[in-house]
Amino acid sequence: MFSLKSAITAAFSVTLLSSTLMSASANAEQVIKLATTTSTDNSGLLRTILPTFEAESGYKVQVIATGTGKALKLASQGDVDVVMTHAPAAEAKFVNDGYGTHPRGIMENDFVVLGPIADPAKLSTSDDVVEAFQKIAASDNSFISRGDNSGTNMKELAIWKQASVSPDFSGYTSIGQGMGKTLLMANEKQAYTLTDRGTFVAYKAKLDLAITFEGGADLANPYQIILINAEKYPELNHQGAKALSDWFISPAAQQMINDFKVQGEQLFKATYK
């Protein structure tokens, strides 16, 4: 027999379930999913500065660190709320295709070519990075590529193209891994590789490699934060994404980017004006 007590218990259970679901929904709305590159994660930058944003805003940032190509794919599929990458051509296509809006340049560092300390291919005497890559291909030395469609991999392939070299010579190995694992393999093989300076500095203590070529506009490495098109994916946390983008260009955040150092070295330069 259905009693008043049973009815009250059932009603209470429904109310409790409803409250739990509403609470879970509210908490979910406070999470910002950020797809970004391994360099911002491996360097320790985001782990250092994002807690300030979280404390000030009440949002929790879920960092998904991967290669630029995959980060932009996640964004184009509506799987993240905002994306921060470092491949200008791919980012421009992402925006032009209607997936991204309001791209903002927030910081930069640079790419460097690492290799054995003795620099057997004599890259240090090169006039530019294109000549440096030509020397690697013409020598008997190895080159380890990330091979993961990341911003660094895109830059590397663009340089090979400028050098009129097909990256399939005998010493070339593509491993499909992030920057950290690529550096460790290059170290093990005493090979050349291309890396962003920030990840190199973060890993320097583990490596018996040196910068064999650096400098020049061809090795500039700018980063942008890009919002996801709300018309394509209205269900995303656009409010939180905008709050994060706005915070990154604030004077306080830009100063934190400039102040971030590893082993006494500044890894990124704030660029928003």
Q: In whole angstroms, give the CA distance from residue 210 to residue 202.
A: 13
pTM for the whole structure: 0.81
Q: Which two tokens stand for residue 203?
A: 């890993």
CA–centroid distance for 253 within its chain: 17
Query: How confident is the model at residue 140, as a pLDDT?
Result: 84
Q: In whole angstroms, give the CA distance from residue 185 to residue 207.
A: 10
**Coil, strand or helix at 67:** coil
Q: Mutual orientation of helices 68-76 and 151-162 as an angle, nearest 10°?
A: 120
Averaged pLDDT for residues 191-205? 93
- Residue 17: pLDDT above 50? no
Confidence band, pLDDT 50/70/90 cuts, at residue 80: very high
Please name the residues in contact with 59: beta carbons below 8 A apart, sequence gap of 6 or more: 30, 31, 32, 53, 240, 243, 244
Confidence band, pLDDT 50/70/90 cuts, at residue 55: very high
Query: How confident is the model at residue 42, as a pLDDT?
Result: 83
Confidence band, pLDDT 50/70/90 cuts, at residue 21: very low
- The third-level CATH classification (topology) of the domain covering 9-109+222-270 is D-Maltodextrin-Binding Protein; domain 2 (3.40.190)
The one-letter amino acid code at 115 reads G
| pLDDT, tens only, 118-155 | 999 999 999 999 999 999 999 989 999 999 999 999 99
Query: How confident is the model at residue 11, as a pLDDT?
Result: 42
Averaged pLDDT for residues 185-208? 95
Q: What are the boundaries of each domain within the chain?
A: 9-109+222-270, 110-219
* 110-219 matches 9-109+222-270 in CATH topology: yes
Averaged pLDDT for residues 179-208? 95
- In terms of C-beta density within 10 A (0-12 exposed, 13-18 middle, 19 or more buried), how is residue 21 classed? exposed
* DSSP label of 192: B
Query: How confident is the model at residue 41, as a pLDDT?
Result: 87
Block residue for tokens 């910002």? 32
Q: Assess contact for 214 and 113: CB atoms under 8 A.
A: yes
Which superfamily is assigned to 110-219 in CATH? Answer: Periplasmic binding protein-like II (3.40.190.10)
Query: How confident is the model at residue 29, as a pLDDT?
Result: 58
**262 or 186: which leads in pLDDT:** 186
Q: Assess contact for 198 and 36: CB atoms under 8 A.
A: no
- Residue 240: pLDDT above 90? yes
**Helix, strand, coil percent values for the chain (each to nearest 5):** 50, 25, 30
Query: How confident is the model at residue 24, as a pLDDT?
Result: 38
CA–centroid distance for 138 within its chain: 31
On average, the pLDDT of the chain sits at: 90
**221-256 burial, b if ≥16 CB within 10 A, otherwise e?**
bbbbbbbbbeeebeebbbebbbbbbebbbeeebbeb
* DSSP label of 128: S
Q: Which two tokens stand for residue 160?
A: 């090979």
Strand partners, 172: 143
Of 3-7, 92-96, 170-174, the least confident: 3-7
Q: Which two tokens stand for residue 97?
A: 């295709």
